[in-house]
Structure 1
Amino acid sequence: MDEMRRFCRALGAWAAGGAGAGAAAEAARQPADGGVRMIVLVEGSSDQVALEALAARHGRDLGAQGVAVVPLGGATNIGRFLDVCGPPGLGLPLAGLCDIGEERHFRRHLERVGLGSALTRAGLEALGFHLCVADLEDELIRALGAEDVQQVIDAQGETRPFHTFQGQPAQRGRPVEHQLRRFMGTRSGRKALYARALVEQLELERVPRPLERLLAHV
């Protein structure tokens, strides 16, 4: 495991609290003193994969550049991670990505730790925190188009499972874009698989704005 992955794991253990939090905090502080220049807080591992894949398409290795992309394991954990990464903890520069439905969690805790007051969406973006309309999968599907997304699914050898999913009673009659988004969340690891595959398929001028702006910020 490389230094950046160790750092991210230590952050997670520190944010979780408990008996090992002190040792985890010490482990996180060591690379934060030199090798890490910014922390990007994202809701889940698929968001991390998408950002790192887009960076790679631009010839960037975020870890080598001192940017730690840290999945929160859910937006409601943002407060704990801001406590350890932000002014109360490491005090490192921060950025992030979240779904618009979770905006309130991010705004409230950013304000709580002193990173703004009465934050608007423009204010969040100025801090480096960008919002997806529904979620990143929705953004990528709309950017690429349903037909091209289905071609990506076919390239992954999952056309039959997708057609089976479409035939479920709860999915019949729903827009194909909705079916695609729901399909990507039906098995562990599938969101991350398609986050990478869709980003790699996108023309760079069609990258969703939240993802493009976040990469530009870091």
Structure 2
Amino acid sequence: MADMGIFRDTVTGWAGGGSPGAAGQLAAEAGVRTVVLVEGPSDLAALEALATRFGRVLHEEGVCVLSMGGAMNVGRYAGLLGPPGLGLRLTGLCDEQERPFYDRALERAGAPGREVFVCVKDLEEEMIRALGVPVVEEIVEAEGELTPWQTFTRQPAQQGRNRQDQVRRFLGTRKGRKIRYGHLLAGALDPGRVPAPLDALFAAL
């Protein structure tokens, strides 16, 4: 069976203007039936962690979560992977402000159902709200970043912001931090308190 990572890398290169290579063959060998289009690697990390939390093995279910490097690329990916291209089922997880890009892209690609699951601000905000700030702070402390977090909250730019918005902004202040915490926050979610867009997405897969 083909490796899902090789399929992802091949599609990413194809979307970037390269050759399709063996994308179709790799999809068939890996058993890919559904592709979940997400904006970036932190979304991918969170969904993979949440799948593990649910006891689900997405690649065995024929599901590939694909990071596109930005919501503006959704049209390109939808055309390559949907009915005009490989003919795979498409779905997606996005922020509210990105919803129009997804809707237009999936409509142009003729994707049946056009299932898009929407976070209000972003995926991190949904998870922070579900967990509660005290739990997130415990995770930050366990990662050895309590002092940087406390320093961040004392910055003048953070005064007047609520604690939830402060945490969300803190996660984006260093390269790689959103990816790391996306995985950690998703792994800490109680299966009974999963944010609605994530719960709906997994129910649809």
So what's the TM-score if we normalise by structure 1?
0.89
Q: Note if contact 2:106-2:114 (Cα within 8 Å) is conserved in structure 1.
A: no
Q: Which whole-Å CA distance do the structure 2 matches of 1:209 and 1:65 have between them? A: 22
Q: Which whole-Å CA distance do the structure 1 matches of 2:22 and 2:175 have between them? A: 29
Q: Note if contact 1:51-1:215 (Cα within 8 Å) is conserved in structure 2.
A: no
Q: Which whole-Å CA distance do the structure 2 matches of 1:33 and 1:148 have between them? A: 42
In the TM superposition, what is the alpha-carbon distance from 1:26 to its structure 2 partner? 2.4
Whether 1:72 aligns to 2:68 is yes
For residues 31-74 of structure 1, the C-alpha deviation after alignment (integer angstroms, 9 at most, x for no partner) is: 22242121111111111111111111121111232211100111
How many residue pairs match? The answer is 203
1:181-200 mapped onto 2 (5 Å cutoff): 181-200=168-187
Whether 1:147 aligns to 2:127 is no
1:37-48 mapped onto 2 (5 Å cutoff): 37-48=33-44
Q: Note if contact 2:72-2:101 (Cα within 8 Å) is conserved in structure 1.
A: yes
Aligned to 1:32: 27
Q: Which whole-Å CA distance do the structure 1 matches of 2:10 and 2:47 have between them? A: 21
Structure 1 runs (4+) greater than 6 angstroms displaced: none
Aligned to 1:97: 93
Aligned to 1:164: 151
State the one-letter code of the partner of 1:9. D
Q: Which moved more, 1:136-145 or 1:106-115?
A: 106-115
Q: Which whole-Å CA distance do the structure 2 matches of 1:142 and 1:157 have between them? A: 22
In the TM superposition, what is the alpha-carbon distance from 1:173 to its structure 2 partner? 2.2
Aligned to 1:108: 104
In the TM superposition, what is the alpha-carbon distance from 1:149 to its structure 2 partner? 1.0
Identical counterparts, % of pairs: 49
Whether 1:15 aligns to 2:15 is yes
What stretches of structure 1 of length at least 5 have no aligned partner? Answer: 117-125
In the TM superposition, what is the alpha-carbon distance from 1:200 to its structure 2 partner? 1.6
For residues 130-184 of structure 1, the C-alpha deviation after alignment (integer angstroms, 9 at most, x for no partner) is: 0000000010011111111111111111110111111222112211111100000
Q: Which whole-Å CA distance do the structure 2 matches of 1:108 and 1:199 have between them? A: 29
State the one-letter code of the partner of 1:3. D
